[in-house]
Structure 1
Amino acid sequence: MSIYSGKRVALLTQHGKERVVGPVLERELGCRVEHTVGYDTDLLGTFTRDIPRSGTQLEAARKKARVGMELSALSLGLASEGSFGQDPFMGMFPWNVELLVWIDRERELEVVGMAQGKANFSHLLTADWATAKTFARKLRFPEHHVVVRPESEHDPRIRKGIATWTELEITFAWALAQSENGHVFLETDVRAHANPMRMENIRLAAEDLAQKLRSLCPACGTPGFWKVERVAGLPCSVCHAPTNETRAETQGCLICPHRYTRELTDRSYADPRFCDNCNP
């Protein structure tokens, strides 16, 4: 049982996120996730660039959660926001970061779940239908939907949510006829309901959020007692000098000043590759 068992939570979404978020949180927390509608969340920004997002990813998720709370008259709100870019390691493939924000008005508390991983997010400019078909197959179409527009990525004439081969061929022909430069721009539709790979990251963000909400502060009982700092200094396996590798983690409360540092037990020494003495 969690402190949110039996509680109603507003989830504002128009892209089917309730299908993965609801089951996770209801199972782990015993709460009741209520799908909330009545606000066009695209007004806060679209991935197709026709409406730019104002503010940060976290601010957008927070705004959605608060709007959902207002519409439902509930004191608990929940919303997610995604972002796309290059992977943070090598910058070689598309990357998706998902944030899932939980707001508890009564406790004046905000807890954020997060997940990240590879994304199905690509684009192509072409004048050739055969090339467009090959591109769509690489995107795992029609399981993952496609967006089409004439001329370029900035053309305002957009067709979203294309989910069948017949529809794609017809839309490609339409865009080609509209295009003054003889090209058509295609890209992955990364709205949650149109992109199963992104939906899985949203589910993982819900799992992360549930873990945080089930972790209570030992001092005051507030949910979200979680990692706030890593402690470096894991000794080198050769010379035993401290390295920058993580030795311990500090958990902290979001409300009271309580902190707890625990030593990591998965390994006792760092690889000498990460030692400034052995590998300066």
Structure 2
Amino acid sequence: MAKCAFLGLGVMGYPMAGHMAAAGHEVTVYNRTAAKAEKWVAEHGGKMAPTPREAAEGAEFVMACVGNDDDLRAVCLGASGAFSGMTESAIFVDHTTVSSMVTQELYAVAKKNGVGFVDAPVSGGQAGAENGQLVVMCGGDAPDYAMAEPVIDAYAKLCKRIGDSGAGQKCKMVNQICIAGLVQGLSEGLAFAEKAGIDGRAVVEVIGGGAAGSWQMVNRYETMLDDKFEHGFAVDWMRKDLAICLATAEETGAALPVTALVDQFYKDVQAMGGGRWDTSSLIKRLKSFG
């Protein structure tokens, strides 16, 4: 069992850190709002620290799951950042979905300090985090990944190294690109069924086991039909991720016409007051705008 730190106790990080503690790891947590860290310690044991640096001191592995590029820099860098408290040979594992640019920037700083750095964004949403069933896509040096994988396994159903530093983030971009188009297609199909006067539930029962089937269809069609959008990844966060995808596409020359269009549809959902609705709320936009 390892001595670990976990930075960021949001809807994902809170249960992920809990699985680490349940697996027998010694876990010290840090959260910007200390009350959340106090609650976690009361539930799971372990310790809390007032700064990322103090959480990271003596840790073999430091995990982070925060909000965006700037949040990640804030917990890594500076006098109170985790890097300043980590010992040589310790490994930093970043589960935040961020740009590959900041990943490579922090990888370089970590290596200069003798610290390993693995970018390891996750897929599976809040339910996946709570159930310890996340998919973790990783980039970084192979030896660092090999050491970190057994710790990550505490909350993962699948963990795989895709390539060098930044490859995990690029894989997560592919994930979000695929989801964006798929959810829009599902929304259009269900809205069409309603307009055409047929039972959407009966339709999914028939087509869900065929070529049209998907995780989104199985897990979201009922809440979509019931106009309930509090069951997954928020629109605000999806737009943050799609902005990263679109910026990277511009840098690389990749074409993302459908992704760009769906991003604008999510902008409409935000304007409807749905920034915290889950991503399946695209169907609500269709019903409002046609």
TM-score, normalization: structure 1? 0.32
TM-score, normalization: structure 2? 0.31
Higher strand share: 1
Which one has the largest radius of gyration? 1
